[in-house]
Amino acid sequence: MRYIITGANLSVEDVVSISRKGQKVELCPEALKRIITCRAMIEKK
């Protein structure tokens, strides 16, 4: 089972499950798009 990171739903319990139980994670396409946009803004400064 994979945990999909959306940028809005990560809880402490999720982090514990991911780190202690080795749960797989992936970014949803919208979250990845927001990360790329923010990185581009930071690199311009």
pTM across the whole model: 0.64
Q: What is the rounded distance in angstroms from the CA atom of residue 24 to the CA atom of residue 3?
A: 6
Q: What is the rounded distance in angstroms from the CA atom of residue 36 to the CA atom of residue 5?
A: 15
Q: Tell me, what's the pLDDT at 1?
A: 78
Q: Tell me, what's the pLDDT at 29?
A: 96
Between 4 and 1, residue with greater pLDDT: 4
- The domain in which residue 40 lies consists of 2-44
> Which helix (H) or strand (E) segment is 40 a member of?
helix 29-44
The 10s digit of each residue's pLDDT in 2-42 is: 899 998 889 999 999 899 998 899 999 999 999 999 999 99
Q: Tell me, what's the pLDDT at 34?
A: 94
Q: How far is CA 30 from the centre of its chain?
A: 10
